[in-house]
């Protein structure tokens, strides 16, 4: 059974958003996000950042980590991703977290930490787990 990877989900969502944005462009040259697509000799789209897919993937993972790590806080000082499942620039979404979002994030960050070795990823995992233990676990004594 394949494990779900939150970083892959985010990368997929960003890619879909980029393609949707490209479809809305009125330019005669179609864009993918802000870039004209690069293609190989057979016409297949290739990464614009680097001809080496592993280098392009590494670049994307670091962009995703930076997005997460620097996401704004809610008015109560809690990181936005710990209280909302949907991020929209300049807006607060009223929906709370999905039941497994914290678990998926921790699982993905564990893999990301193994890849990057960045202590900030590990510290973020500790902060997420501490918040979840304090606010996300129901007291079994409650009815």
pLDDT digits (tens, 9 = 90+) for 84-96: 888 887 788 888 8
Across the chain, where does the E strand assignment appear? 38-39, 45-46
Q: What is the mean pLDDT of residues 106-123?
A: 94
- At residue 10, does pLDDT exceed 80? no
Residue 25 domain flag: yes
Residue listed under structure tokens 């897919």:
53
User: pLDDT band at residue 21, thresholds of 50, 70 and 90?
Assistant: low
Tell me what pLDDT residue 1 has. 46
Distance separating alpha carbons of residues 135 and 110, to the nearest angstrom: 21
Residue 141 domain flag: no
Distance separating alpha carbons of residues 71 and 107, to the nearest angstrom: 19
Residue 89 domain flag: yes
Domain hosting residue 96, numbered range: 6-135
């Amino acid at each position: 059974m394949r494990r779900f990877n939150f970083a892959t989900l985010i990368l997929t969502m960003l890619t879909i958003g980029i393609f949707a944005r490209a479809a809305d462009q009125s330019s005669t040259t179609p864009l993918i996000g802000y870039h004209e697509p690069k293609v190989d000799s057979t016409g297949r789209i290739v990464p614009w950042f680097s001809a080496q897919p592993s280098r392009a993937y590494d670049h994307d993972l670091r962009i995703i980590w930076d997005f997460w790590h620097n996401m704004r806080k809610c008015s109560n000082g809690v990181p936005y991703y710990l209280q909302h499942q949907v991020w929209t620039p300049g807006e607060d979404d009223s929906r709370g977290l999905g039941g497994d979002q914290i678990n998926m994030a921790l699982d993905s960050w564990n893999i990301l930490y193994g890849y990057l070795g960045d202590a900030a990823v590990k510290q973020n995992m500790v902060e997420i787990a501490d918040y979840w233990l304090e606010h996300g676990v129901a007291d079994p004594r409650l009815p």
